[in-house]
Structure 1
Amino acid sequence: MGDPGRGGARGAAAEDTLAVGVGTSLTGEEFHRESAPIAEDAPQSPTYAYICAQDKFEVVLRSLAESLPGTDIRFGVRMESLAQDDSGVTATMSTGEVVRASYCIAADGARSGIRAELGIGVEGPPVLGHMISIMFDADFVHLLKDRMCALYFLRSAIPCAVEAVDNKRRWMIQTGYDPAEGGSEADFTPEFCVEVVRAAVGIPDLPVELVGVMPWLQQAVTATSFRSGRVFLAGDAAHVSTPQGGFGMNCGIQDVHNLVWKLARVLRGTAGAALLDTYESERHPIGARTVHESLMNALITFRMMEGELSLKEAIEQQASRRSSEGLVLGFHYDSAAVLDDGTPAPTPDDPYRSYVPIARPGHRAPHVWLTRDGAEVSTLDLIGPGFTLLTPKGSGWRDAAAGLDVEVFEISADIPSALTSPTWAKEYGLTPTGAVLIRPDGHVAWRTAAAEADPAALRDALGKLLARS
């Protein structure tokens, strides 16, 4: 997809920071703001996180998808049934059209009908809450001044969370009801929703325009399997996180990033079908871990809303878990699509918070700044839709890769006109004769720290990685 920060999601993102606020209302006296220490995390990537509302982000994704060759995007069409056999899948659409394909990616959300039809269950606690999202427009941002945040947790007359959609006029409130106490989504009439908004903002007569009201279930569950035959589960169909932490979409995008290059290789005949088995073994443990950590974040909020934690205690606990780079960036894969080089995995003291950049096979290729003709280039910007080989200039691995489906980048230690970095080889664990092979999803597939360039070794590695018999 490229860097969505370059004109796409960055241009659509809301202004201001990743700060979190806690109080009795947005304008109440008892209010505390905790700002994210962006400078601590920024070195891990050539860009940084941006808050972008999903309705805007999907416009960016749609535009990008429509620009790609061979895409056929439909709106207002529902898949009524899905069947599979030994050679493919058959989908019947609400328009009466029958679509035949080799594989299906089921990304149909938390209440996935495809998952249920396949008989795949979920693991995790019971439903955590019956929730209501209220999107609204109102003019009060001028009253917030130094309280601007991305997310607010409020213990108002109606406990809720408030999300800044654009930090201007559009906002989202998340609150809930308890069916055991007679509550229902029917309680959230337009009049009552306006009352919820005014209580959250702290202005009894605030003019409010409701945009939409949507019920949903707060859950923390993982599908028992991410695959059934030729159907693969991805996103919320595979794992449903709580909103706390904002992990859901990232994890879903990681699923598809992991899967689509494998499907492309198999469909083109350049990889064996066994490569697709690595989707389950790689993504299931990551999805389950992400769901668990989102639940841990949610429990802090629940305890605060129930009065078990004071505002100060909740703020301290939430702030301590704001940094989640270990979870989001530090995970690694262990499968047949990764060739172990015998080096140990890092063992950070806190694997949730601490990310240790390392080019060990299975891990994300680390971001290192390079220069070329005076301009900065990240190692991550070199990774394309195929396999990418990074190696020190003059190592001989460029010649060894001749004729193979691999894009090679030689990096110099001191030649200004070339890709240059005096430290990258050390950071990637390479000597002047080493090389590292990176998968299309940005994870290291194979690494040789010091071996002499050998075409046969590289060819053999690709054969194993791609499950070629």
Structure 2
Amino acid sequence: MTEQPRVPVLVVGGSLVGLSTALFLAQRGVPCLVLERRAGLFAHPRTRGVNPRSMELLRAAGLEAELRALPSARALARNSGLRLARSLAGQELGAFREEYYREVSSDLSALSPTTWCLCHQNELEGVLHRAAARAGAEFRFGSEVVSCTQDTDGVTALVRDSADGTTSKLRARYLVAADGARSGLRRRLGIPFEGTGGLGRFLAVRFRADLAAELGERRFVMCYTFNDRVRGALIPLDNASEWRLDVILGPDDPGTPGEVLAAFPPERCVELVRAASGVPGLAVRVLDTVPWEAAAKVARRFRAGRVFLVGDAAHVMPPSGAFGSNSGIQDAHCLAWKLAAVLAGQASPGLLDRYDAERRPVAAATVRQAVLRQQDRPRRGERGARRILPPGLVEDVTVWFGWHYTAGGDVWVSDPRGLPGTRAPHVLLLRDGARCSTLELFGGDPVLLTGPRPGPWPRAARGAARRLGVPLQVHGIGGDGAYEDPEGVWAKAYGTTGGGAVLVRPDGVVAWRASGAPDDAEDVLHAALARMFGR
């Protein structure tokens, strides 16, 4: 057994959320090592919806153009909406339209500088891996964490090489567990999942078949199919020959994944695909089958000493709404700036306590929204189903943009208007005649935004940052500031005035705001900065 040099952050799990964690840390200058038990990146397409908030984060990381150029993103760029039908070639029952549901093609320009990107998870992970490596993250595939211990100075992970079985020890200041819903690290830490399993069992059948004629000019995200032979969801992967069928398994179907695979050999899957497509003699090539189960669970805590849970290790939810993987990306983003600030000596270690306090309530509320959507959608395929929505449903836009980091009160805020603890709003600005979003100002150092009457705020910012020994950027909006506010909406959007100021955290969350400048502006801002860094 060998002991390796110490790293600041060890990330366990090299899938979507682990890769996102590595990217956000590396771009903040934090060296990190990613351990993944598989020999390489996973090739299965899996999920494919990057929602607008996650796209904002990946856009800030400089990846939007690369993501939209991916083969799957180009193929699915025009896809939108949920359909319901007896089969792809058969009777359509209609489109899924509810107040809470916002289609992928919706115009979000008033809310965000970006929008959905439909791309396969394996292609997205390739982009994240390359970008994180360029930024300095290191990767070790074929490495499984066998055990993990902590002390006052760091974490020691015992790592086994999958190829030859040798073990080594790795030391890190902190460890991020991104090892999935069956997280071995979470179990070893004694952190239980709380919630509900058994919300539905499914078999994902990825197949190749020419359904271009049956699809026609339709470009949907998913088509729920309901007939006497199959109930499930037909998902186009390229709008031509690559597809996935998620078959709903019933109570009489086998229980364990192995039993399900044995009961659904390729020839049976072919018949299910033919039933869902409505083409009896369709030539079908089954590529793979993956059983999966919908669950709604949240870890009792997201932190245990120097170990932090992110993504499916912290929460699992049904896929309705495409919230799961996106919540994981946002976990990673929320945690990365805190770890970076603590490791740089800018923040107190107490800042890391806020990761659990901020993300766990939002995760629990998001899981609830996914469950409500899963309960609502299948009833559309039932004759005579009453259209009474489950109480508590929150519209998609609020789930994407309206979470509230607070010690108490509601998690969702439908119209945040710059409320501290919420995502800083998108406002369209001009700089040197070029359009940009306020969101483009965030993602690096903390930012102080001042209005067209900045008064003492720029000087106060310099003094407060110098006293604390932390970086702080100042951007003037309107007036003589560097950024023009052509619509004159910035102050209203941020809940302040032309003489006010707004402090935004490195992750784009409003930390504090003032409607005007007091006589002791530097002291007031100094106190706000200190609170933001947990000092």
- State TM-score, norm by structure 2: 0.78
Please, what is the CA RMSD of the aligned residues?
2.7
**Contact 1:221 1:239 (C-alpha < 8 Å) held by counterparts:** yes
Which residue number in structure 1 is paired with residue 280 of structure 2? 204
Q: Structure 1 pair 282/296, CA: closer, same or farther in 2 (3 Å)? A: same
Which residue number in structure 1 is paired with residue 496 of structure 2? 430
2:240 partner letter: K
- Report the Cα offset of residue 175 of structure 1: 1.6
Which residue number in structure 2 is paired with residue 119 of structure 1? 190
**Contact 2:505 2:532 (C-alpha < 8 Å) held by counterparts:** no
More strand by share: 2
**Contact 1:132 1:176 (C-alpha < 8 Å) held by counterparts:** yes
- Report the Cα offset of residue 85 of structure 1: 2.0
Which residue number in structure 2 is paired with residue 109 of structure 1? 180
Equivalent-residue separation in structure 1 for 2:504 and 2:86 (angstroms): 49
- Report the Cα offset of residue 325 of structure 1: 0.8
Verify: 1:158 aligned to 2:215, yes or no: no
Q: Structure 1 pair 37/215, CA: closer, same or farther in 2 (3 Å)? A: closer
Mean Cα displacement is larger for which, 360-369 or 10-19? 10-19
Verify: 1:330 aligned to 2:402, yes or no: yes
Mean Cα displacement is larger for which, 115-124 or 449-458? 449-458
- Report the Cα offset of residue 102 of structure 1: 1.1
**Contact 1:121 1:223 (C-alpha < 8 Å) held by counterparts:** yes
- Report the Cα offset of residue 369 of structure 1: 0.3
Q: Structure 1 pair 258/364, CA: closer, same or farther in 2 (3 Å)? A: same
1:401 partner letter: A
Equivalent-residue separation in structure 2 for 1:225 and 1:277 (angstroms): 11
Verify: 1:301 aligned to 2:388, yes or no: no
CA deviation profile, 1:176-214 (whole Å, cap 9, x unmatched): 434655463121212222222221111122222322211
Equivalent-residue separation in structure 2 for 1:268 and 1:205 (angstroms): 64
Equivalent-residue separation in structure 1 for 2:179 and 2:338 (angstroms): 21
Which residue number in structure 2 is paired with residue 445 of structure 1? 511
Mean Cα displacement is larger for which, 17-26 or 75-84? 75-84
Equivalent-residue separation in structure 2 for 1:454 and 1:260 (angstroms): 30
* Structure 2 residue corresponding to 1:383, chosen from 420, 442, 450: 442
SS for the counterpart of 2:139 is: coil
After superposition, where does 1:161-176 map in structure 2 within 5 Å? Answer: 161-176=233-248
Verify: 1:223 aligned to 2:299, yes or no: yes
After superposition, where does 1:24-43 map in structure 2 within 5 Å? Answer: 24-34=86-96, 36=103, 38-39=105-106, 41-43=108-110
Which residue number in structure 1 is paired with residue 124 of structure 2? 57
Verify: 1:44 aligned to 2:104, yes or no: no
Equivalent-residue separation in structure 2 for 1:375 and 1:223 (angstroms): 45
CA deviation profile, 1:405-459 (whole Å, cap 9, x unmatched): 11111111488x7443422123212223211011111110011111247222222
- Report the Cα offset of residue 294 of structure 1: 0.6
SS for the counterpart of 1:73 is: strand
Q: Structure 1 pair 67/17, CA: closer, same or farther in 2 (3 Å)? A: same
Verify: 1:370 aligned to 2:426, yes or no: no
Which residue number in structure 1 is paired with residue 461 of structure 2? 401
* Structure 2 residue corresponding to 1:187, chosen from 254, 263, 269: 263
CA deviation profile, 1:351-395 (whole Å, cap 9, x unmatched): 97x831411111110000001222211000111322111112451
Verify: 1:410 aligned to 2:476, yes or no: yes
Equivalent-residue separation in structure 2 for 1:55 and 1:37 (angstroms): 20
Q: Structure 1 pair 419/67, CA: closer, same or farther in 2 (3 Å)? A: farther
**Contact 2:372 2:393 (C-alpha < 8 Å) held by counterparts:** no
Which residue number in structure 1 is paired with residue 46 of structure 2? none
Could you say which structure has the greater relative contact order, defined with CA pairs below 8 angstroms and 6 or more residues apart?
Answer: 2
SS for the counterpart of 2:143 is: coil
| Residue segments in structure 2 that go unaligned for 5+ positions in a row | 1-56, 98-102, 162-166, 466-470
Verify: 1:97 aligned to 2:158, yes or no: no
Q: Structure 1 pair 124/148, CA: closer, same or farther in 2 (3 Å)? A: same
Equivalent-residue separation in structure 1 for 2:355 and 2:276 (angstroms): 43
- Report the Cα offset of residue 123 of structure 1: 1.6
**Contact 2:453 2:479 (C-alpha < 8 Å) held by counterparts:** no
Which residue number in structure 1 is paired with residue 363 of structure 2? 287
Which residue number in structure 1 is paired with residue 79 of structure 2? 17
**Contact 2:270 2:286 (C-alpha < 8 Å) held by counterparts:** yes
Equivalent-residue separation in structure 1 for 2:264 and 2:404 (angstroms): 44
Verify: 1:254 aligned to 2:316, yes or no: no
How many residue pairs end up in the alignment?
448
Equivalent-residue separation in structure 2 for 1:215 and 1:97 (angstroms): 34
Q: Structure 1 pair 359/54, CA: closer, same or farther in 2 (3 Å)? A: same
**Contact 1:23 1:154 (C-alpha < 8 Å) held by counterparts:** yes
Verify: 1:237 aligned to 2:237, yes or no: no
SS for the counterpart of 2:210 is: coil
* Structure 1 residue corresponding to 2:345, chosen from 225, 250, 269: 269
Equivalent-residue separation in structure 1 for 2:198 and 2:153 (angstroms): 38
Runs of 4+ that moved beyond 3 A: 37-42, 178-184, 301-305, 307-310, 320-323, 417-421
The percentage of counterpart residues that share the same residue type is: 38
**Contact 2:429 2:483 (C-alpha < 8 Å) held by counterparts:** no
Equivalent-residue separation in structure 2 for 1:288 and 1:309 (angstroms): 32
Equivalent-residue separation in structure 1 for 2:384 and 2:77 (angstroms): 31
**Contact 2:84 2:225 (C-alpha < 8 Å) held by counterparts:** yes
- State TM-score, norm by structure 1: 0.88
Q: Structure 1 pair 51/355, CA: closer, same or farther in 2 (3 Å)? A: farther
- Report the Cα offset of residue 16 of structure 1: 1.4
Which residue number in structure 2 is paired with residue 8 of structure 1? 66
**Contact 2:449 2:502 (C-alpha < 8 Å) held by counterparts:** yes
| Residue segments in structure 1 that go unaligned for 5+ positions in a row | none
After superposition, where does 1:133-148 map in structure 2 within 5 Å? Answer: 133-148=204-219
